[in-house]
Amino acid sequence: MAKRIEDLKVIGNKRLNNDFFVLELSGNDKIPDFKPGQFAQVRVDGSPETFLRRPISIHDVDYERNTFKLLIQIAGKGTGALSKLRNGDFLNLIYPLGNSFGLPVENERVLLVGGGCGVAPLLFLGKYLRSNGYIPDILLGFRNSEQIIEFEEYLKIGNVFLTTEDGSKGEKGYVTNHSILLTGRYKRIYCCGPDSMMRAIAGYCKKNNIACEVSLENLMACGIGVCLCCIIDTIKGNLCTCIDGPVFNINELKW
Amino acid sequence: MVNLGFSIGDLHFKNPVLTASGTFGYGSEFDDFLDVSRLGGIVVKGTTIEPREGNLYPRMAETASGMLNAVGLQNKGIDYFEKNIYPRISGYNTNIIVNINGSYIDDYVALAERINRLEKIPAIELNISCPNVKMGGMAFGTNLDSAREVTRAVRAVYAKKLIVKLSPNVTNVVDFAKVVEEEGADSISLINTLLGMLVDVEKMRPALSTITGGLSGPAIKPIALRMVWQVAKTVRIPVIGIGGIMTTSDALEFFLAGASAVQIGTASFIDPQAPVKILEGIENYLIKKGFSDIKEIIGYINRTT
């Protein structure tokens, strides 16, 4: 799929809580056929401290309206500046970038696991799975009930299970402690979240012989396989998260 | 029509906008964004005899108006280059230059001999300035005797155009320029990255796995420009300016200070179309100012000051 560099119009900026917001962007031409797991390199102008582009997952796609969404966590000056964008502003993107999650094998029961900003690619993945005939379950982990975002959106896709670290909603603890993992019903897990969460889920999947893909969030400069900064150590040597990933089968990783 | 061409000896470049090693891959990564054949030349990723995995992650950190990298010359080695990359890139209608690196002088010599045989590679860039490898690299470019020795050894076996890429991490860059010119370099490119570091205050540790790395981007442009100016008025061979060029105006500063050509580096990470935009901007500037040949502005500031 050809990569594009474009100025796209912001047509929505919805604040979800203190940390998260969703930008909706309108395509100039017909938006590309995105694959779940892909991302965009977003340019942030206006400050010497936001020099590089920010890699942001494609969160949701609406082909009828020719729009797509980015779920962004305010982590620093770059994402802070993006949170202040208004309808009608333009944002420069290089997209679509990266590989994608693979489809399940027929009749496999699948689970999506996400936490924090890692929930971003899972909404689009869930919708993509639904449109391909799968009804995934979804397990989301947050620090507390106030951090829970877009719960209703995920409910439209499948059963949603929650954990919070303080027990204020769902089961108390981390996603890896949730009781649904004890059922043994899942044959495939897709995971995106903090490094510690993905490693824990990968460990669980390896132990129980469950197919698993994770989406990594390594620091990157270019996003197109040139700078070789976002590397991950794999059984094939160093691979670039931006072009060989961001989605990796856990069997490829040296976790 | 404006003449944008320049030459290193009898090697002609259709325009003076090249891409810097390590920032443009092998060209094809940019095919979706620009026509690589419009560029004056591309300097491909630093190549070594043996495949290298480079340094551990994290090897990049953003800084004010720039970035630090400590990639450490990750590449698949000369055999892979010759077999898999060379056939692919030699289709571009532009000068393909290979940036060569080694731990020992013998490595540089062996690479130069190998690349000398590749018909479609008219020049090499001798990298004696990589700050991110434990052996070789910058060690050659920060000691006058070593710089002389490696340039002499490569010159003896390499018949085509030899560009030597200098390190800014020295007391007097002009001394190094003189030495490599004396040893037969056809051109000098500068600057490579400046050695720097960043500490992650939250994690209370260095941001890079290697602690130090090479600083690039607009943060280093004034230093690069000063060094290019110093070198260009001292040597007779063409000087290629590198360092933080993001815009047409940045590139023009280097020409006015004495560079015959420029390399666009980190800018390509932020705008993959930057090299072509800068090329178009240079042409427009010359037309607007009434010049018919870019040579008329090279070193212009030295005529008036």
Q: What CATH number did the domain enclosing B159 receive?
A: 3.20.20.70
Together in a domain, A22 and A70: yes
Distance CA A87, CA A110 (A): 37
Tokens describing residue A46: 């206006």
Together in a domain, A83 and A161: no
Q: Looking at the domain assignment, is residue A202 inside a domain? A: yes
Instruction: Please say whether the beta carbons of A247 and A211 come within 8 A.
Output: no
Q: Looking at the domain assignment, is residue B207 inside a domain? A: no
Instruction: Indicate yes or no: CB of B270 within 8 angstroms of CB of A94.
Output: no
Q: Looking at the domain assignment, is residue B1 inside a domain? A: no
Together in a domain, A124 and A86: no
Q: Which of A4, A52, A220 sits opposite B270 (nearest CB)?
A: A52
Asked if the bond preceding A246 is cis, omega within 30° of 0, the reply is: yes
The interface predicted TM-score (ipTM) is 0.94
Together in a domain, A91 and A136: no
Question: Which range has the worst mean pLDDT, A33-47, B245-259, B280-294?
Answer: A33-47
Instruction: Indicate yes or no: CB of A226 within 8 angstroms of CB of B54.
Output: no
Q: Looking at the domain assignment, is residue A253 inside a domain? A: no
pLDDT value of position B191: 98
In this model, does residue B134 exceed pLDDT 90?
no
Together in a domain, A151 and A173: yes
Distance CA B175, CA B162 (A): 18
Q: For an interface test with B, which of A238, A239, A241, A253 has the most B Cβ atoms less than 10 Å from its Cβ?
A: A238
Q: What are the tens digits of pLDDT across the range B112-130?
A: 999 999 999 999 999 998 8
Together in a domain, A134 and A79: no
Told to judge if B236 belongs to the known catalytic residues of this protein, a careful annotator would answer no
pLDDT value of position B304: 63
Question: Structural domain of residue A55, as residue ranges?
Answer: 4-97
Together in a domain, A144 and A63: no
In this model, does residue B1 exceed pLDDT 90?
no
Instruction: Indicate yes or no: CB of B74 within 8 angstroms of CB of A48.
Output: no
Together in a domain, A116 and A201: yes
Domain count within chain B = 1
Asked if the bond preceding B275 is cis, omega within 30° of 0, the reply is: no
- Give the pLDDT band (50/70/90) at residue A118: confident
pLDDT value of position A117: 82
Instruction: Indicate yes or no: CB of A51 within 8 angstroms of CB of B60.
Output: no
Whether A120 contacts chain B with CB within 8 A: no
Q: What is the CATH number of the domain that holds A86?
A: 2.40.30.10
pLDDT value of position B305: 53
Together in a domain, A121 and A207: yes
Q: What are the tens digits of pLDDT across the range A123-174?
A: 999 999 999 999 999 999 999 998 999 999 999 999 999 999 999 999 999 9
Together in a domain, A92 and A12: yes
Give mean pLDDT, residues A175-199.
Answer: 94
Q: Looking at the domain assignment, is residue A147 inside a domain? A: yes
Q: For an interface test with A, which of B48, B62, B68, B276 has the most A Cβ atoms less than 10 Å from its Cβ?
A: B62
Give mean pLDDT, residues B196-201.
Answer: 97
- Give the pLDDT band (50/70/90) at residue A106: confident
Together in a domain, A87 and A124: no
Q: Looking at the domain assignment, is residue A234 inside a domain? A: no
Q: Looking at the domain assignment, is residue A244 inside a domain? A: no
Q: What are the tens digits of pLDDT across the range B209-253?
A: 999 999 999 999 999 999 999 999 999 999 999 999 999 999 999
Domain count within chain A = 2
Per-residue burial over B273-283, b = 16 or more CB atoms within 10 Å of its CB, e = otherwise: ebbbbbbebbb
Question: Structural domain of residue B288, as residue ranges?
Answer: 6-55+69-195+216-304
